[in-house]
Amino acid sequence: MLRSIPQRRTSFICKSCLSAGWRLESRRACSTSVPQRPQKPPRRTEVPDGPARTRFAPSPTGYLHLGSLRTALFNYLIAKSTGGQFLLRIEDTDQKRTIPDAEQRLFDDLRWAGLEWHEGPEVGGPYGPYKQSQRTSLYRQHADQLLESGHAYRCFCTPQRLAELAEHRAKLGLPTDYDRTCANVPKEQSDDRASQGEKHVVRLRVPDRYPPFFDLVYGSVGKGLKPATNPKDDAYDDPILLKSDGLPTYHLANVVDDYHMKITHVIRGTEWLPSTPKHLAMYQAFGWQPPNFAHVGLLVDINGNKLSKRNMDIDVSAYRKYLPEAVNNFVALLGWSHRNRSDVMTMEELIKNFTLKFTTGSVVVTEAKLSYLQNHHQQKHLIPGDPYFEKVVDELVASIQGNDGIKIDERLLSNGGLRARVADVLRIDNKNFTKTEGFIEEHDYFFSDAAVDYSSTDVPREKLDAVKTAWERTFFQIQPDDWTRVSLQQSIDKAAKMIVESRTRDTWQHLRQALSGGKHGPGVLDTLLVLGREVCLRRLRKYLS
């Protein structure tokens, strides 16, 4: 197989140097060499040295979904990992689309996920109120400030005129941006029309070209941005800051709030990347230092379609069947690259390992990874006394009682009844528990002798006779009060030595076949202890018959 030989990289040599006959080995880049393209600054992946102040600012126009939970979690993790503060702010200025119970659901879902906010609704803080509907005077004050400085202007165009303008420009194949008809209205005339009550909005007067900016995920951004204005086509990307009802748009409110709440880092989805230049133009107009921005990839399904918070299939409440730490672990891995040796991490480990090393591009969401993480996290909780363990036991008992296909033999139950038996089975085989459905069916031999089927057993008679002799001298000699882990282990070891033609593993296989019909499940020793002496000896005899 031929190996490709890497070519030697040399500096650019101009034609005059080539004509001089320089030897290749001695050629150097001359003064007319093509300058090398400047390198982009590296992405900053490490968390800041000082405390970060971050925020999660949901709108109560919908319920919490995986994308917004991830945004909240990333902002929470950077705050916690730096000893900073995580704020919750409700952006409720879109009153028409507000869902009555959405705000309380947001609080409940965040607390269920363990994302407690240091400042915000129901908590308070020095920079409140933390609901935008209660901060309208502040937004109007700052809109007036931009009007006075000339960085904003009032637009008196009617919705009908704007719709006709957009339609006309679209037919001509031109951008449907605003044409700045009202930008040149004299200030005195604008003030007078506004004081007379004429309906208007306030627009930002964007610069001719947006300046490039640095994003913590994408690095330098801005070279490919379209011009903010295009006078040739009368196209101006002037966003509305104040609506005709006096309420702010997202653009104005989030910039003003982030500044006054001293936010240092903003982590949000890439759908907001195109809006960032407008926000930076506002920071520049106010003379404020902007926060650090990090835009993370959008969540998509396996078909590449964007996940939507209006899709109830991904409403966070639908994931409450999982442990919150499993959901947090799952969400954290959606677009975040870590150096930990395992993907399975508790909240404390997420905080400890958190960096700003996010992947670029869309992130595919599949529940297979969530199920994997759930299985690992729940092992820590499937122990008697843990609330999660007791909750699962109750669910399993309910599934038995509501399933006519499972026949319970009361003789197999201990003094604690059905719930005690279910708890014992879950305790000794928690490693195989993934979900309530199907768990009892797989362990039906703990509840009924009839569930043990020997019809497929095919063991030579002479081998069974050797097993019978060994068991009669071991298990059948154990007295009721001595049916313990120690004595049972001793009997297993002794029986294995007595069956000269078998190895120890064969002894275990015979026991599993006799006790469960060969079904997989917990260890044989645990099975012997949970079933008890009477049930086990009865099944051993039946197996040998």
3-class secondary-structure state, position 189: helix
Question: In the beta sheet, which residues pair with residue 242?
Answer: 202, 248
**Average confidence score pLDDT of the chain:** 87
Residue 163 DSSP one-character state = H
What's the pLDDT score for residue 43? 55
3-class secondary-structure state, position 229: strand
pLDDT in tens, 194-204: 999 999 999 99
Question: In the beta sheet, which residues pair with residue 294?
Answer: 267
What's the pLDDT score for residue 16? 37
C-alpha R_g of the chain: 35
Please state, in angstroms and rounded to a whole number, the distance separating the CA atoms of residues 491 and 467: 12
Q: Which residues make Cβ contacts (< 8 Å) with residue 414, sequence separation at least 6?
A: 420, 421, 424, 532
**Which residue type does 332 have?**
A
Please state, in angstroms and rounded to a whole number, the distance separating the CA atoms of residues 277 and 229: 13
What's the pLDDT score for residue 385? 95
Question: Per-residue confidence at 25, pLDDT binned at 50, 70, 90?
Answer: very low
**Cβ proximity of 508 and 515 under 8 Å:** no
Average of per-residue pLDDT across 112-140: 97
Active-site residue, selected from the candidate residues 309, 369, 407, 497: 309
DSSP 89-132: -B----GGG--TTHHHHHHHHHHHTT---SBBTTTB-TT---BG
DSSP 468-533: HHHHHTTGGG--GGG-SHHHHHHHHHHHHHH-TTS-HHHHHHHHHHHHHTT---S-HHHHHHHH-H
What's the pLDDT score for residue 129? 97
The correct answer on CATH 3.20.20.70 for the domain covering 458-544 is: no
**Which residue type does 151 have?**
H
Question: Is position 309 annotated as part of the catalytic site?
Answer: yes
Question: In the beta sheet, which residues pair with residue 292?
Answer: 265
**Cβ proximity of 253 and 131 under 8 Å:** no
Architecture (CATH level 2) of domain 52-296: 3-Layer(aba) Sandwich (3.40)
**Cβ proximity of 347 and 325 under 8 Å:** yes
**Which residue type does 104 have?**
Q
- Distances 401 to 387, 429, 512 between C-alpha atoms, Å: 21, 21, 27
What's the pLDDT score for residue 314? 73
Percent residues over pLDDT 70 in the chain: 89
Cα angle 365, 370, 371 (rounded to 5 degrees) comes to 130
Domains 52-296 and 458-544 share a fold: no
On the question of pLDDT at 351 being above 80, the answer is yes
Question: Per-residue confidence at 458, pLDDT binned at 50, 70, 90?
Answer: confident
Interstrand relation of 53-56 and 85-88 (parallel, antiparallel or unpaired): parallel
Average of per-residue pLDDT across 420-437: 93
What's the pLDDT score for residue 4? 36
Taking alpha carbons only, the member of 284, 205, 250, 228 closest to residue 61 is 250
Domain residue spans of the chain:
52-296, 312-378, 387-450, 458-544
What kind and span of H or E run contains 171? helix 159-171
Taking alpha carbons only, the member of 273, 278, 372, 361 closest to residue 327 is 372
Average of per-residue pLDDT across 214-239: 86
What's the pLDDT score for residue 101? 93
- Distances 514 to 31, 253, 544 between C-alpha atoms, Å: 89, 71, 8
On the question of pLDDT at 452 being above 60, the answer is yes
Question: Per-residue confidence at 403, pLDDT binned at 50, 70, 90?
Answer: confident
461-472 helix and 533-544 helix, angle to the nearest 10 degrees: 150
Better-scored residue on pLDDT, 203 or 304: 203
Average of per-residue pLDDT across 105-115: 97
Average of per-residue pLDDT across 29-43: 43
What's the pLDDT score for residue 93? 85
Per-residue exposure over 261-274, b if at least 16 CB sit within 10 Å of its own CB, e if not: bebbbbbbbbeeee
DSSP 307-347: P-TT-GGGBGGGGTTS-HHHHHHHHHTSSB----S-S---H
What's the pLDDT score for residue 521? 92
What CATH number matches the domain at 312-378, 3.50.50.60, 2.160.10.10, 1.10.1160.10, 3.40.50.2000?
1.10.1160.10
Which has the minimum average pLDDT: 234-243, 302-311, 516-525?
Answer: 302-311
Across the chain, which distance is largest between two alpha carbons, in Å? 111
Average of per-residue pLDDT across 419-441: 92
Percent residues over pLDDT 90 in the chain: 67
452 φ, ψ (degrees, to nearest 5): -90, 115
